[in-house]
Structures are given as C-alpha cells and as structure tokens.
Amino acid sequence: MTDFSNEIAVLKDITLEYVDAADLDRYRKIFDIQIAGFNALDQLDASASPCLPEHREFTRGVPLIRQAVLEIDAPWATGQLYRMGELLYGLDVSEDQFKADLKEQLVRAGWDLNGLLVWAAYGRNNEFSRKFSDLLDLDSEDLRVWVRESIRPWYWKLADLQTDPVKYEEWSHGYCPICGNSPVIAVLKEEEGFRFLSCNMCNFSWRTHRLRCGVCGNTDEKKLRYLFTEHESPHRAHVCDGCKSYLLTIDTRKWKFERRIYPRIEHIVMLFLDALAQREGFTSSPVEH
C-alpha cells in the first residue's frame, strides 16, 4: 500500500523553481483530505462494488472495475465532497445542509449521486453534467476536478485490494488494468529501462512496452521521442508525432541518488513539461478503450 503520509512529507520538503509555494500548500491540503478519506474506508466494504469480470474478459482488455456497475458508498462520498468543497470553493454551509442541497440539485438536473461520481472518474461532459454545473454556477471541468479529487481514495482502496500480480503481467494496454483510467506518468526503471505506467486515478502501476504510444499504439521509433529541458534530467515528456500525444516520464537511470517515486508528486514536479509539450502542439490525450 502507498504510504500517503510520506507523500505529504515529500511535498513539504520540495522547493521548485516551476511550482508556486501556494500551489504546493493547496496540493498538500488536498492530499490531507484524500488520506483521511482513504483511512475512513477501513470501516467500509469497498471491495463489494467493482463486480470483477471473468478472466476471459480481462484478457480481452476489460479492466477489473466496470464503470457500468460501480457503486460508491454515498455517505462517504458526500462527506468527501463537502470537505473538498470547503477547501476548493470555501463552502460556508453545514455538512447536513450541503448534503440536502446536493440532493435537491441532483434531482433538478435529473441525475443521481452515483451517476455524478462515475461521470467524474470516466465520462465526458453530457447533458446532466452541463445542467448540474449550471445549477451550481460552476464550470463543468471545475466540477469534475472537485468530484474526482474527492473520490480518488475509493479507487486507491480498490487497487490496494488487488494482490495477484500474475494477472497483470500480460496486460499490454495503455490504460489501467484496475480502473481503466489513463496513466499520469511513466517510469523507466533498471538498466534495461523497463517502462511502468502509473494510473491517474487509482495509483496502480503496471509494466508496458517501452517503445509504444499508449494512446494510438504507434511503434514507429521515428515518430516516438522525448522532450526535455536538460539532457541529463530524469524528467522528460514522451511524445508521439503520430497522434500528437504526450506522457510525462521519469528515467530513474539518470538519478544521481536513489529515492522512492510518488507519481502524483512527480507530476507536480513536472508541470513545466506539460507547458513545454503543449507549446510544441502535443496534448495529454485520454487512452480510449
């Protein structure tokens, strides 16, 4: 299991030219809420909802968690939404009032809580998300960030319950075998440069092909390359000239000293590479499946 308390400690020690101190403090507070939510899941049976598919479906590229049948504990989720809303938007109502208002607005939008939660993890904007965003006077993407950051610990818990590494050895897809979300970073390890992807949602890590675009499947070495600001830096963006996508990457072979990797913190560290890749015309595209 990821030691999330260490993630917070690492954040406190980071001083970066490219990241504002106020932003780091905000990330740290978000992590605090998520860690508290993760710890609260010890009291819940979070393994009851994924409805894992048969092995033959998994080998055809079906992730273990199927969004169509995913149900997230409602009281836990609304509590997380309230605490995250306090931080991100300065909610000034009681938690009970927030829950009542949330229920009312969902009814007005013709939606339900689980639909909102699953949409935040997987979906694109739809009629319900646009209407609900308007009712809350929030941009649809801001709404998705709020909900997504609130419920991440549920996915951490589900990934943490997967204890059989054998079933993932032949997973060759660019999306997560646990929840189906796209990776947030790639990591090159050991002398051979084995490539591992880390999920943007559940933090699960799996090995994949090194010379392959996870978005379009391109294996043409002439169309796969790296963007970086310093040649010896371990931080770089792996770009595909075929589909114009990119993925932030860490080459641990270039580290001057050994340290543990915390994917979401590394993503914060590499935000400047997001800007570089986008300036060059690349996009961080979600992996379709």
For residues 68 and 126, the answer to whether their CB atoms sit within 8 Å is no
Name the helix (H) or strand (E) containing 45.
none
For residues 218 and 240, the answer to whether their CB atoms sit within 8 Å is yes
Determine whether 119 is exposed, middle or buried from the number of CB atoms within 10 Å of its CB (0-12, 13-18, 19+). buried
pLDDT digits (tens, 9 = 90+) for 132-145: 888 888 888 899 99
pLDDT digits (tens, 9 = 90+) for 65-91: 766 667 888 999 999 999 999 999 999
Average pLDDT over residues 43-63: 62
Type of residue found at 103: K
For residues 64 and 177, the answer to whether their CB atoms sit within 8 Å is yes
Domain ranges of the chain: 4-160, 165-279
List residues bridging with 207 in a β-sheet. Answer: 196
Q: With bands split at pLDDT 50, 70 and 90, how would you rate the model's confidence at 166?
A: low
Considering the segment(s) 165-279 as one domain, its CATH architecture is: Alpha-Beta Complex (3.90)
- On average, the pLDDT of the chain sits at 82
Higher pLDDT, 4 or 156: 156
pTM: 0.84
Residue whose structure tokens are 């960030």: 145
In whole angstroms, give the CA distance from residue 146 to residue 149.
6
Looking at residue 11, what is its pLDDT? Answer: 58
Looking at residue 211, what is its pLDDT? Answer: 86
In whole angstroms, give the CA distance from residue 98 to residue 242.
47
Higher pLDDT, 25 or 66: 25
